[in-house]
Amino acid sequence: MKSPLSEIVASGIPIVAVIGQGYVGLPLAMEVVRAGFHCIGIDVSVKTVDGLNAGKSHIIDIKDDELGIALATGRYRASANYADLAHAHVISICVPTPLRKTKDPDVSYIQASVAAMRPYLNRNGVLVILESTTYPGTTDELVAHELAGDGLTLDENLFVAFSPERVDPGNATYGLKNTPKVVGGVTPTSTALVSTFYGRVVDHVHPVRSSREAEMVKLLENTFRAVNIALVNEMLLMCDRMGIDMWDVIHAASTKPFGYMPFYPGPGIGGHCIPLDPTYLSWKAKSYGFYNRFIELATDINGNMPRFVVQKLSKLMNDQGKALKGSRILLLGMAYKPNINDLRESPGLDIWQLLDQEWGADVVYHDPYIQHLHEFDADSIELTNEELNQADAVVIVTNHKDFDYKQVCQHAKLILDARHAIKEDHDNVTRL
Which of the residues 39, 94, 273, 409 is marked catalytic?
273
The answer to whether 381 and 365 are in contact (CB under 8 A) is yes
Residue 232: pLDDT band (50, 70, 90) is very high
State the DSSP code for 418: S
Using the predicted structure, report yes or no on whether residue 403 has a pLDDT greater than 70: yes
- pLDDT value at residue 144: 97
Higher per-residue confidence, 388 vs 272: 388
- pLDDT value at residue 2: 62
Residue-range domain boundaries for the chain: 4-209, 235-431
The answer to whether 49 and 82 are in contact (CB under 8 A) is no
Torsion angle (degrees, nearest 10) of CA 19, 120, 208, 299: 40
What percentage of the chain reaches a pLDDT higher than 70? 100
Identify whether 273 is a catalytic site residue. Answer: yes
Q: Taking each helix axis from N to C terminus, what angle separates 211-242 and 246-253, rounded to the nearest 10 degrees?
A: 130
Please report which residue ranges of 93-169 form alpha helices under DSSP H.
Answer: 108-117, 138, 145-147
The answer to whether 194 and 159 are in contact (CB under 8 A) is yes
- pLDDT value at residue 99: 82
- pLDDT value at residue 209: 97
- pLDDT value at residue 172: 84
Q: How far apart are CA 26 and CA 43, in angstroms?
A: 10
Over the stretch 133-182, which tens digit does the pLDDT of each residue have? 899 999 999 999 999 998 999 999 999 999 999 988 888 899 999 999 99
- pLDDT value at residue 54: 97
Residue 273: pLDDT band (50, 70, 90) is confident
Angle at 136 between CA 179 and CA 214, to 5 degrees: 25
Using the predicted structure, report yes or no on whether residue 272 has a pLDDT greater than 90: no
What percentage of the chain reaches a pLDDT higher than 90? 87
Q: How far apart are CA 56 and CA 159, in angstroms?
A: 34
State which fold the 235-431 domain adopts.
Rossmann fold (3.40.50)
Using the predicted structure, report yes or no on whether residue 188 has a pLDDT greater than 80: yes
Which stretch of 129-143, 279-293, 402-416 has the lowest confidence by average pLDDT? Answer: 279-293
- pLDDT value at residue 72: 97
Q: Taking each helix axis from N to C terminus, what angle separates 305-319 and 211-242, rounded to the nearest 10 degrees?
A: 20
- pLDDT value at residue 277: 83
- pLDDT value at residue 145: 96
Q: From 321, 335, 308, 336, select the one nearest 416 (Cα to Cα).
A: 308
- pLDDT value at residue 283: 86
Q: How far apart are CA 397 and CA 400, in angstroms?
A: 9
* Average pLDDT score over residue span 184-203: 97
Over the stretch 417-427, which tens digit does the pLDDT of each residue have? 999 999 999 99
Query: pTM, whole model, 2 decimals?
Result: 0.91
CATH architecture of the domain 4-209 equals 3-Layer(aba) Sandwich (3.40)
- pLDDT value at residue 146: 96
Using the predicted structure, report yes or no on whether residue 3 has a pLDDT greater than 80: no
Using the predicted structure, report yes or no on whether residue 4 has a pLDDT greater than 90: no
Angle at 137 between CA 131 and CA 142, to 5 degrees: 70
Mean of per-residue pLDDT scores for the chain = 94
Q: How far apart are CA 189 and CA 195, in angstroms?
A: 10
The answer to whether 411 and 387 are in contact (CB under 8 A) is no
Q: From 390, 357, 314, 316, select the one nearest 366 (Cα to Cα).
A: 390
Using the predicted structure, report yes or no on whether residue 1 has a pLDDT greater than 60: no
Q: From 93, 27, 43, 62, select the one nearest 340 (Cα to Cα).
A: 62
Over the stretch 306-327, which tens digit does the pLDDT of each residue have? 999 999 999 999 999 999 999 9
Higher per-residue confidence, 98 vs 356: 356
Are the folds of 4-209 and 235-431 the same? Answer: yes
